[in-house]
Amino acid sequence: MRIFMLKLLLAMAGIAAITGALALGGKTPDRQTVMPLPDVDAQFSTPEMASVELGRLLFYDPILSGNRTVACATCHFPDFGTSDGVSLAIGDGGIGLGPKRKIDPENLPEQRVGRNAPALFNLGASEFTALFHDGRLEADESRPSGIRSPLEDNMVKGFNSILSAQAMFPVLSPDEMAGHYSENEISTSVRQGQLTGEGGAWELIADRVSAIPSYRESFSTLLGNDREIAFTDISNVIADFIAFEFRADSAPFDTYLRGAESLSPLQLAGMDLFYGKAGCASCHSGQFQTDQQFHAIAMPQIGPGKAARFETHNRDIGRMRVTGNPDDAYRFRTPSLRNVALTAPYGHSGAYATLEAVVRHHLNPVQALYAYDRTQALLPDFPGAADWNVLDDPVELAAIAAASELAPVDLSEREIMALLAFLNSLTDPVALTGRLGVPDTVPSGLPVAGGR
């Protein structure tokens, strides 16, 4: 909580300083000059509170990880904007939380997690039909399960939503939650390809939860029967918790859209730029500032990337890894900008430490790629990590640059500051702290992720 309050106060102080130092002049923009503005019409799921409260406990409980040391909240903690405050996380094999997380000398991780942990805001809204930076999990009515994923259809039966289905990936990832190959029963099952069915990783996780009387009782009450707890039951309640806890549609910008004049003159000027000259809304559209599509904007690639274990390179080709279409190379999902002022670092690999830096990247992506300042990366110490392989490869760097589809934009320093002021108006303090907050204890008796 102390970290969150410090970040929030710094953000507010920054805006106050900008407001005092700048005067854009001219008439304050009104709703006509910045049209079209989005409608405040997002549709949200409405989960049962019993499910939300049970999901909260499991979200913060390390019982779901192979070595019982990593929870969902380890990489998605409220103090860090529901991410973890670093460019690339240390999942299994790490000690601590956020930027203070370090390698456990008794359980050395194999590598950093390949991509930046995304924020969780508004994922219960119906418009979020694809998840992960490359959209590898998508709602798809043409599939028997209603969900398209890299896994077989029989693996996604029983999930109530794609938000629930996304929970199947981290628990099966050695770098995130499962653990090193063969060092525990869950990682052993993953290594052997036993994910579902009898003796599979999901069943082993569900058995752990079932063995805890409090969880067993809560699920029986919620489901109204005494059947065995399935992994999908666990992921469904976690999804309900995320949808409830991190809903963010009460920012000053939302209030403005609902008819109240709650933005400062500088924020209004930034809004005019966002929906006008700067062209931000061409991708960051809708109430939550995302078109839910995929774009290549020459983002610097750091760390291990997202590649198969047997591949020796650190390339991350983004959407192309899902579709196989060369036109999708280096495209990544447009992130929502809700609470963006407090969700650093930015980009699919967390390459930018500050909001100003990533905004400046958008003004001339190719130039920014070649001029990238590596001190922007917030990387926990990891001896021997191959963090700069792609940036040190002229051929790969040129390929990233060639794929960029974002034309340069010329903004003055005053306009950049106004744009930053508007982005701060997207901050919803209620969602940042969460509606229920971090529990004091969890039924497993294990240390609560981020416990106070």
What confidence score (pLDDT) does residue 451 get? 67
Based on the fold, state whether residues 78 and 180 are members of the same structural domain: yes
Return d(Cα 340, Cα 356) in angstroms, integer: 11
Task: Decide: 267 and 422 in contact? Cβ < 8 Å.
Answer: yes
Kindly list the averaged pLDDT for each block of 10 residues, start to end, along the chain of length 452: 45 43 46 71 94 98 97 97 97 95 92 96 96 94 85 75 92 92 91 88 96 97 88 97 97 94 93 97 96 98 79 84 96 98 97 98 98 97 93 97 97 98 96 93 94 62
349 and 329 within one domain: yes
Q: Are 420 and 355 in contact (CB under 8 A)?
A: yes
pLDDT of residue 151: 72
Q: Residue 152: what pLDDT?
A: 65
Question: Is residue 130 assigned to a domain?
Answer: yes
Q: Torsions phi, psi of 327, nearest 5?
A: -65, -20
Does 326 share its domain with 397?
Answer: yes
Find the angle CA(439)-CA(349)-CA(389) to the nearest 5 degrees: 135
pLDDT, residue 150, reads 80
- Assign residue 7 the CATH number of its domain: 1.10.760.10
Q: Report the pLDDT value the prediction gives residue 309, as an integer from 0 to 100.
A: 56
359 and 383 housed in the same domain: yes
Note the pLDDT tens digit of each residue in 228-267: 999 999 999 999 999 999 999 999 999 999 998 789 999 9
Residues 274 and 147 in one domain: no
Q: Is the residue at 435 inside a domain?
A: no
Domain boundary among 227, 247, 267: 247
Q: What pLDDT does residue 224 have?
A: 85
- Residues 230, 376 share a domain: no
71 shares its domain with 15: no
The reported pLDDT for the residue numbered 8 is: 47
Is position 448 within any domain?
Answer: no
User: Would 27 be classed as within a structural domain?
Assistant: yes
Q: Out of 194, 228, 247, pick the residue that ends a domain.
A: 247
The type of residue at 298 is A
Domain count, the chain: 2
Q: Is residue 327 part of a domain?
A: yes
**In this structure, what token pair is assigned to residue 290?**
């995302």
Asked if residue 436 belongs to a domain, the reply is no
Q: Same domain for 144 and 269?
A: no
Q: Does residue 222 lie within any of the structural domains? A: yes
Same domain? For 325 and 214 the reply is no
For residues 87 and 222, state if they share a domain. Answer: yes
pLDDT at residue 82, as a whole number: 97
Same domain, 27 and 128: no
Residues 264, 201: one domain?
Answer: no
Q: Return the pLDDT at 5.
A: 45
Is residue 231 domain-resident?
yes
Task: Spell out the residues 6+ positions from residue 376 whose beta carbon is closer than 8 angstroms to its own.
Answer: 345, 351, 352, 353, 354, 357
Domain of 25 in residue numbering reads as 2-43+251-430
Tell me the pTM.
0.91
